[in-house]
């Protein structure tokens, strides 16, 4: 019935000179060469730190898909990160080390869980949706605490990073920090590209409409529940994959990964970067994690007596962004 032009690589004509595009391209390029620079400086710490940024960015991209584009404020998305981490740690403790198995397990558990929880939570909206997602996340958190065989609230260490089967032969060994970094980097790029396409697709048009005016979208005849639930599950899967990467980075899985504070941190990242912008979560993750890293050092160097008060400065920064950059740091740039 309807004709679509043959699919192009870029879903829209890119304005290469627009501040947003330039910023995104520069950041991606810098992230792309970061291990090379760090290697030259012989600083493996910064590769690990940047990997952590990428993993948080990935989880935030997942959350942004429903928060920024679908208007669903989930205060429980860290539970999917935790789930992904345990999908590495538990099989690894039984000797299953294949990364493909870890990802498959994370996705296989995540989809039915998110579909079930989402179906319940989406009966509501607004504050009730926030409370229900939070309540489920807390249940899962205490569920993980009660896993006495797998460390309980102490968490579970992972003996070694996931193996990549035959790919190890091609030099892809996650034990190498730079390799893990590039796996996270490529995963982030893929997630960005997929969410970009999805947002501009007919599906995305309805999803964005549910945020803007769900009542109208329904009255036009769109079965919005189906759209919201699909987006919710997709967003959870992205977070679960972030969890798989996180367990590989830290060689650890713990209930703390599912703490509601982490869910809150993901929301801060999304809003800081720019709600409803595809690239915003990457910018938000870089800013938040860099500040969390830099502020304590800065204070220690200048006012050592107040070292433990660095959070105050972070709070001030978030306060000013919320006040003056209502669309977030990346969202405030011209497209």
Partner 1 sequence: MSALVTHSLVKRFGGVLATDHVSLTVEPGELHAIIGPNGAGKSTLIGQLAGEIACDEGSVHVLGTDVTHMPTHKRAQLGLARTYQVTQLAKEFTALDNVLLAVNARSAHNFRFWGNAHNDATAMKKAATALATVGLSHLHHAEVGMLAHGEQRQLEIAMALATEPKLLLLDEPLAGMSQGESSAIITLLKSLKGRYPMLLVEHDMDAVFALADRVSVLVYGRIIATDTPGRIRENTEVRAAYLGDEV
Q: How far is the CB of 62 from partner 1 (least distance, A)?
A: 15
Instruction: Indicate which single residue of 219, 304, 334, 335 sits in contact with partner 1 (rule: CB under 8 A).
Output: 219
Q: How far is the CB of 332 from partner 1 (least distance, A)?
A: 16
Tokens 């433990």 sit on residue: 308
Q: How far is the CB of 206 from partner 1 (least distance, A)?
A: 7
User: Which segment (81-89, 226-234, 244-252, 282-290) binds partner 1 by CB under 8 A?
Assistant: 226-234
Instruction: Indicate which single residue of 224, 246, 259, 266 sits in contact with partner 1 (rule: CB under 8 A).
Output: 224
What's the CA gap between 278 and 273, in Å, rounded? 10
Q: How far is the CB of 9 from partner 1 (least distance, A)?
A: 12
Span 276-335, contacts to partner 1 by CB under 8 A: none
What's the CA gap between 258 and 237, in Å, rounded? 15
Q: How far is the CB of 245 from partner 1 (least distance, A)?
A: 23
What's the CA gap between 297 and 294, in Å, rounded? 5
Overall size of the chain counted in residues: 335
Give the residue ranges of DSSP H helices in 68-152: 78-93, 99-121, 127-145
- Smaller CB separation from partner 1, 258 or 276: 276
Q: What is the DSSP string of 151-163?
A: TGGG-EE-SSPPB
- Smaller CB separation from partner 1, 173 or 218: 218
What's the CA gap between 41 and 271, in Å, rounded? 33
Q: How far is the CB of 196 from partner 1 (least distance, A)?
A: 10
Please report whether residue 124 would count as binding partner 1 according to CB under 8 A.
no
Largest CA distance in the chain: 70
Q: How far is the CB of 86 from partner 1 (least distance, A)?
A: 29
Please report whether residue 165 would count as binding partner 1 according to CB under 8 A.
no
Please report whether residue 1 would count as binding partner 1 according to CB under 8 A.
yes
Please report whether residue 94 would count as binding partner 1 according to CB under 8 A.
no
Instruction: Indicate which single residue of 126, 143, 223, 315 sits in contact with partner 1 (rule: CB under 8 A).
Output: 223
Span 176-215, contacts to partner 1 by CB under 8 A: 197-198, 200-206, 208-209, 212-213, 215
- Smaller CB separation from partner 1, 226 or 307: 226
Instruction: Indicate which single residue of 166, 169, 171, 221 sits in contact with partner 1 (rule: CB under 8 A).
Output: 221
Both structure tokens of 87 = 């999908």
The phi and psi torsions of 156 (rounded to 5 degrees) equal: -130, 125
CB atoms within 10 A of CB 174: 20
Tokens 């790919």 sit on residue: 167
Burial-class residue 196 by CB neighbours within 10 Å (0-12, 13-18, 19+).
middle
Which residues face 163 on adjacent strands?
98
Instruction: Indicate which single residue of 138, 218, 229, 291 sits in contact with partner 1 (rule: CB under 8 A).
Output: 218
Q: How far is the CB of 276 from partner 1 (least distance, A)?
A: 9
Please report whether residue 4 would count as binding partner 1 according to CB under 8 A.
yes
What's the CA gap between 30 and 182, in Å, rounded? 13
Please report whether residue 132 would count as binding partner 1 according to CB under 8 A.
no
Name the packing angle between helices 224-250 and 177-200 (round to 10°): 170
- Smaller CB separation from partner 1, 171 or 221: 221
**b/e sequence 280-307, b meaning 16+ C-beta within 10 Å:** bbbbbbbbbbebeeebbeebeeeeeeee
Q: How far is the CB of 130 from partner 1 (least distance, A)?
A: 22
Tell me which residues touch partner 1 (CB under 8 A).
Answer: 1-5, 7, 11-12, 197-198, 200-206, 208-209, 212-213, 215-224, 226-227, 230
């Amino acid at each position: 019935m309807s004709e679509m032009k043959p699919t192009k690589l870029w879903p829209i004509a890119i304005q290469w000179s627009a501040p947003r595009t330039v910023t995104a391209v520069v950041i991606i390029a810098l992230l792309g060469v970061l291990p090379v620079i760090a290697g030259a400086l012989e600083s493996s710490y910064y590769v690990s730190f940047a990997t952590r940024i990428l993993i948080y960015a990935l989880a935030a991209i997942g959350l942004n898909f429903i928060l920024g584009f679908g208007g669903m404020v989930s205060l429980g998305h860290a539970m999917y990160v935790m789930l992904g981490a345990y999908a590495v740690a538990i099989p690894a403790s039984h000797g299953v080390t294949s990364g493909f198995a870890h990802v498959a397990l994370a996705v296989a558990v995540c989809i039915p869980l998110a579909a079930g929880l989402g179906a319940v939570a989406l009966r509501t909206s607004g504050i009730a949706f926030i409370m229900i997602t939070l309540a489920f996340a807390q249940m899962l958190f205490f569920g993980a605490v009660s896993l006495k065989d797998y460390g309980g609230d102490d968490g579970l260490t992972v003996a070694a990073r996931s193996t990549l089967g035959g790919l190890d032969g091609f030099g892809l060994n996650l034990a190498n920090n730079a390799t893990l970094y590039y796996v996270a980097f490529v995963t982030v790029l893929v997630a960005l590209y997929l969410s970009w396409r999805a947002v501009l697709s007919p599906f995305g048009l309805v999803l964005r409409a549910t945020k803007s005016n769900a009542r109208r979208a329904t009255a036009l005849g769109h079965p919005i529940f189906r759209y919201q639930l699909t987006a919710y599950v997709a967003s959870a899967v992205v977070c679960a994959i972030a969890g798989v990467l996180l367990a590989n980075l830290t060689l650890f899985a713990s209930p703390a990964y599912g703490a509601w504070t982490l869910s809150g941190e993901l929301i801060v990242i999304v809003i800081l970067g720019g709600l409803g912008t595809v690239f915003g979560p990457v910018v938000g993750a870089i800013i938040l994690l860099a500040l969390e890293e830099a502020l304590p050092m800065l204070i220690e160097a200048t006012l050592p007596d107040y070292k433990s008060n660095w959070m105050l400065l972070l709070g001030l920064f978030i306060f000013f962004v919320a006040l003056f950059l209502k669309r977030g740091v990346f969202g405030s740039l011209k497209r």
